[in-house]
Structure 1
Amino acid sequence: MSLHTSISTPRTIPSNFASHPTGLRSSDVHCGSEDYSVGFKTYFAIFSLALANCCATLSNTTNTIIKFQVMSVGGSAVASWIANSNFLLTLACGPIFGSLTDRMGKKWFIVGGCAIGVVGSFISSSATQVYTIIGGNILTGIANAGCIVSIAANQEITPNKFRPYAFGFAQTVNSIAAIAGTFGAAAFVKYASWNWSYRLNGIVYGVSGLSVLLSYKPPPPAIRRAGELREILLAVDYLGILLLAGSLASITMALTWGGSTYAWNSGVIIGTLVAGSVGLVIFGLFEHRLKTTNGILDHRLFENMNFPILCFVCLVDGMLLLGINVLYAQEIADLFSKDALRIAVILTPYLITSTVGCLPAGWIMGKTHSYRILLIGALLWCSLFTGLMGLIDSSRLKMALAFSALFGLGTAVTTVIPIVALGLSIPSFLLGTAGTLSISFRALGGIVGITIFTAIYDNKIAVNRPREVSDVVLGAGLSTDTLQKVLKALSGNVPPAVSLSAISALPAKLITPIVNASLKASAESWTYVWVAIACITFANAVACCFLKSVKSNMTAHVESALERSTTRDTQMSKKLKIAI
């Protein structure tokens, strides 16, 4: 495919732009044309930006070995913060960075994020207590908020009609990183130490930052060309940023603490949830009533309903992707193996199909200029096979491999298409804001999903395991005291056969029946989790029925030209009159 196209050159935006009820689309601010060829500079930048996006994915693969980290440094009571400290900071800082990068440029936010990621990763790798890991992950969460800006940068340097191809490639690289990171983390646990997983992340952050520094040299963004620096900085929606970040942080902390650090009905959890929810309402009213063209929720993002719908799609996609990445690994450990490398092997069919499906998904959208039917079909496909995952038990490994591979194909589509469609549904000069908001919704979805699905499993296993195990233990004439010891042994991280053999009052012949009873209880409990995932995914498919076509926006326009051309010369020098 030759990326040779005709690119429009900008003109002055009409003076009535600020008073226009919805503002102008990026396609409205261009006229005329010239030949523009995408060459080595753009290809190199696309690859470098894809590497930067990989950093956030790699940092999340360390979550698959959290239990091994806790076994080494302790702190099981706060283990959930190892993952959620990263998610929380990414979620809170993402919209801030996105809004600023649309005004100031994206390069130094990405490079700076990579630099912070190096520091955070090596702090976590040096941990001798759990709080050091959490502290390092706080820094990598901030780093990832900068790195995900690369998603918007990737789309800006690519002509609109070629964005599906470029982002499909970027997500393929990203998915390969997920596979490599998952296997790397498992291999480090088995053959070296979990610390090396964080060290690998630090190296990748460093390489990515250097690559972006060398390859990505964009012209100033449209809003930066629209006014003086002081004027632009004064126009930033600081109050909206604080309201959104604080509200999301409150909700995230409540979801993380609830059921572990504090009871769900405790004053701390209720108060934090209420504060976060009220904050979001105030934020929404503030953005709707008092902000028009310079708020976090810039009104020009809502030219049609695609933006809010696709943000909801990203929220549910986060529940699906991040929830499965964390919880499916736990189910494998419960039902099939506690060996870290074998867990990674069993995850492989899902990881591979969710990787190889990214390029075809982008290719189909690029060729057809259509995405809605493809996205709805993928979500229905995911709903079917995640529902069928509820049928697996410890004797159905082949079924688990097949079903996870099949819904992996669907998640490849839901990873690529919504982001590209969202970028084509809003003015191009707001790609940073829209892109980071969508990623923040995905991160929030991951936190909400993990919380909901973990609560479902915990509630079911608390009933199912005592019921199944008591039939074996009490049926053999043993005491309730022995039953309690057995249940305690089964709830630990030690392999059941080992922990049960340490109970002196337990006959050796009962160990296998008890293990089988526990496996049955666990499989029954995971069934409810998969049914919940299937239902939520189906609801997402229904929401996508209301999406609008973006075919008219798949034009030759390039928001940020890297190649030497008249378009780039114009973008490097042209002053625009737009509302900031």
Structure 2
Amino acid sequence: MADIHAEKQHADHVEKVRGSIDHTHGLDAHGFAAEVEELPKGYFYSPFFLGTTCAIGLNLMASTGGFALVAPVFGQISVALGPTSSIIWLSLVYTIGLAVGLTLVGRLTDTFGRRWFFIVGTALGCLGAIVASTAKTMNVLIGGQVLIGLSASTGYSYSFVIGELVPVKYRFIFNSVIFLFSIPTGGFGAAVATSLILNTAGGWRWVYYLLIILNGLTALLYTVFYFPPTFHQKHGSDTVAKFIKNFDWGGLVLYTAGLVLFIVGLSSGGTLHPWKDARVLAPIVIGFLCLVALFVYESYANLAQPLIPIHFFKNRGWVAAMISLSFGASVYYSQAIVWPQMTANVYAQGRVMWGGVVASLVGVGITFGEILGGFAAKSIGHWKIQAVVVITLGGLFLGLAALCDPTTPGMAMAFMFLATTFVGWNEALMLPICTIAIPDQTEIGTAAGVAGSSRSAISTVASTIYSIVLTSRTTTELSKQVPAAVIAAGLPASSVPAYMTAMAAGGPAALLAQVQGLTPDILATGTEAYRWAFTDAYKTIFLVSLAFSGLTIIANCFIPDIDSLMGGKVAATLIGREKDDDKTAA
């Protein structure tokens, strides 16, 4: 009887709010469960709400750590498990799991309820970390990383999981609260990973031990405190079997196959295989055709439960926010690729821990911007102007970073921090707008999930472009500047190939000792030439990132005015416990 009463209460709330739809600026506001005034006293201070908030935050911390902590230790993993080109799959499977999983988590949990998806998802991350931490071969480690990547799609779903539980007017602020949890991993991931390498006997394995702890604790918190609406509270007397039968299985196959093949092809080009190789071209072409077929299928098939509702793409405000989120993240990824390398090759000069801390500036800047933007967004308002200004400033400071050289580390760090802060601010705006500017709040997970998958896919394309340009420019600048410098310093021309080979291997003393005619002074000259050559190569990426900044600015010109939607309505409440009576979770 309690569940039946809760279902009726939930339905009454939805109908009540639907009766007063706001059509201002063409934006509907319906599909809500309650007004904030209708919630029990102390609802937002209850153990269930606070425990759920902690679970969502730790989930994001673990999910960002699945990449931000692992990427800095690739070198140590390669030494421990054997040098192999397949180490790139550690980042590749994470990206694929995240890109595919975000849409699926959003759509499936909108339909079937969220609780068990998030409990099982975080437990899966814990299992993956256990497998990875005990791995003796690269293949086993990659298998564990697959599970970690799939689990990360729950953590990166934070925008709608926390967003639906609070009044719309507080979504930006609560996103910032969740961002606070990601500071140790998303912000200082490189520094934490470097510290684990330097100060623990387990070395790189401690990265995965930490992920075990975070994912395990998150699964426990979800189990104890997270009780969103159940399937029957969402759909009344309908059966799960009916929804499974009507689920968009054709769309699921096209979506998964298309996205996986497309990302695998893009990411393996120029790394695992040459770009002209059929093993690169075939996945890209087939994956792209599958994605085209997906949208044709979703548009014209008579689907009861489409995986990707096409009506989202008829909503200009949501599309603008989704594109801005995707291209804005592409600006961020330019520096996620370049800045750690620039720190190590230009500024660190052997200071390992210092380099790890400085390399974290990109993550710190993004996280700080997300927190600052979330707290300031509603107070500032003027959504379109705010969005255009912050991404313009982010692009401007990245462009200015091209003026830096080996003698200006302080200026480079300042520009990098400011640029990524404003890019993070843009993300703090776009994520909640993707969940607000939709016609039906019962589809909040799908809206955020599709936008998140788009972010991952487009960022992968951008990362590929950055990597191709950087590889080309680095090869050109090193071959042009370094040989000329060391020959002018007195190194015989016949010794240049051996010198370049030794430096490409990291400059070990054993190899350098074999270079005929190499003196300490020549070595110092060559090291300085390397710093300037790398700087000139990295400048190109700063300039390329301006193109993505420009596209983001254009998208932000179409961001909707959401002031009329910033009220006290709540999309979902914690009413999913079997013992609940007519009260929402107090």
The aligned residue for residue 99 of structure 1 is 107
What letter corresponds to residue 57 of structure 2 in structure 1?
Answer: A
The aligned residue for residue 523 of structure 1 is 535
Q: TM-score, normalised by structure 2?
A: 0.87
Q: Could you tell me how far 1:199 is from its partner in structure 2?
A: 1.0
Residue correspondence of structure 1 range 56-71 to structure 2 within 5 A: 56-61=63-68, 62-71=70-79
Given that 2:17 and 2:30 are in contact with CA atoms closer than 8 Å, whether structure 1 keeps it comes out as: no
The aligned residue for residue 205 of structure 1 is 215
Aligned pair 1:10/2:14, yes or no?
yes
Can you list the C-alpha shifts for 1:395-420, whole angstroms capped at 9, x where unaligned? 22111221112113213312311110
| Distance 1:428-1:495 versus aligned 2 partners, 3 A rule | farther
- Of 64, 78, 93, the residue aligned with 2:86 is 78
Q: Could you tell me how far 1:360 is from its partner in structure 2?
A: 3.2
Provide the secondary structure at the position in 2 that maps to 1:27.
coil
Aligned pair 1:451/2:464, yes or no?
yes
| Distance 1:148-1:9 versus aligned 2 partners, 3 A rule | same
Alpha-carbon distance in structure 2 between the residues aligned to 1:228 and 1:510: 77
Given that 1:370 and 1:550 are in contact with CA atoms closer than 8 Å, whether structure 2 keeps it comes out as: no
The aligned residue for residue 137 of structure 1 is 145
Aligned pair 1:311/2:346, yes or no?
no
Given that 1:42 and 1:563 are in contact with CA atoms closer than 8 Å, whether structure 2 keeps it comes out as: no
Q: Could you tell me how far 1:25 is from its partner in structure 2?
A: 4.7
- Of 470, 475, 484, the residue aligned with 1:462 is 475
Q: Could you tell me how far 1:439 is from its partner in structure 2?
A: 1.9
Given that 2:100 and 2:453 are in contact with CA atoms closer than 8 Å, whether structure 1 keeps it comes out as: yes
Alpha-carbon distance in structure 1 between the residues aligned to 2:119 and 2:33: 30
Q: Could you tell me how far 1:32 is from its partner in structure 2?
A: 8.7
Aligned pair 1:275/2:286, yes or no?
yes
Q: Could you tell me how far 1:163 is from its partner in structure 2?
A: 1.0
Residue correspondence of structure 1 range 291-440 to structure 2 within 5 A: 291=302, 294-302=305-313, 304-337=315-348, 339-426=351-438, 427-440=440-453
What letter corresponds to residue 430 of structure 2 in structure 1?
Answer: P
| Distance 1:30-1:86 versus aligned 2 partners, 3 A rule | closer
Aligned pair 1:256/2:263, yes or no?
no
The aligned residue for residue 196 of structure 1 is 206
> Which stretch shifts more, 263-272 or 453-462?
263-272
- Of 207, 212, 225, the residue aligned with 1:215 is 225
- Of 50, 55, 65, the residue aligned with 2:62 is 55
Given that 2:133 and 2:208 are in contact with CA atoms closer than 8 Å, whether structure 1 keeps it comes out as: yes
Aligned pair 1:153/2:161, yes or no?
yes
Q: Could you tell me how far 1:466 is from its partner in structure 2?
A: 1.1
Q: Could you tell me how far 1:29 is from its partner in structure 2?
A: 6.8
Given that 1:241 and 1:296 are in contact with CA atoms closer than 8 Å, whether structure 2 keeps it comes out as: yes
Q: Could you tell me how far 1:288 is from its partner in structure 2?
A: 1.4
Q: Could you tell me how far 1:569 is from its partner in structure 2?
A: 6.2
Unaligned stretches of 5+ residues in structure 1: 1-6, 15-22, 573-580
Provide the secondary structure at the position in 1 that maps to 2:13.
strand
| Distance 1:329-1:78 versus aligned 2 partners, 3 A rule | same
Residue correspondence of structure 1 range 493-508 to structure 2 within 5 A: 494-495=506-507, 499-508=511-520
Alpha-carbon distance in structure 2 between the residues aligned to 1:408 and 1:143: 26
| Distance 1:327-1:12 versus aligned 2 partners, 3 A rule | same
Can you list the C-alpha shifts for 1:219-248, whole angstroms capped at 9, x where unaligned? 236754483222222222111121111111
What letter corresponds to residue 551 of structure 1 in structure 2?
Answer: D
Q: Percent identity?
A: 19
Given that 2:187 and 2:366 are in contact with CA atoms closer than 8 Å, whether structure 1 keeps it comes out as: no
Given that 2:34 and 2:572 are in contact with CA atoms closer than 8 Å, whether structure 1 keeps it comes out as: no
Alpha-carbon distance in structure 2 between the residues aligned to 1:439 and 1:85: 16
Alpha-carbon distance in structure 1 between the residues aligned to 2:430 and 2:27: 22
Given that 1:154 and 1:167 are in contact with CA atoms closer than 8 Å, whether structure 2 keeps it comes out as: yes
| Distance 1:382-1:305 versus aligned 2 partners, 3 A rule | same
Q: TM-score, normalised by structure 1?
A: 0.88
- Of 38, 45, 52, the residue aligned with 1:45 is 52
| Distance 1:430-1:237 versus aligned 2 partners, 3 A rule | same
Q: Supply the RMSD in Å over aligned alpha carbons.
A: 3.0
The aligned residue for residue 18 of structure 1 is none
Q: Could you tell me how far 1:563 is from its partner in structure 2?
A: 7.2
Alpha-carbon distance in structure 2 between the residues aligned to 1:142 and 1:28: 29
Given that 2:339 and 2:362 are in contact with CA atoms closer than 8 Å, whether structure 1 keeps it comes out as: no
What letter corresponds to residue 56 of structure 2 in structure 1?
Answer: L
Provide the secondary structure at the position in 2 that maps to 1:357.
helix
The aligned residue for residue 5 of structure 2 is none
The aligned residue for residue 234 of structure 1 is 245
What letter corresponds to residue 205 of structure 2 in structure 1?
Answer: N
| Distance 1:33-1:187 versus aligned 2 partners, 3 A rule | closer
What letter corresponds to residue 428 of structure 1 in structure 2?
Answer: Q
Residue correspondence of structure 1 range 529-568 to structure 2 within 5 A: 529-562=541-574
Paired residue total: 558
Alpha-carbon distance in structure 2 between the residues aligned to 1:443 and 1:218: 27
Alpha-carbon distance in structure 2 between the residues aligned to 1:83 and 1:272: 18
The aligned residue for residue 472 of structure 1 is 485
| Distance 1:557-1:269 versus aligned 2 partners, 3 A rule | same
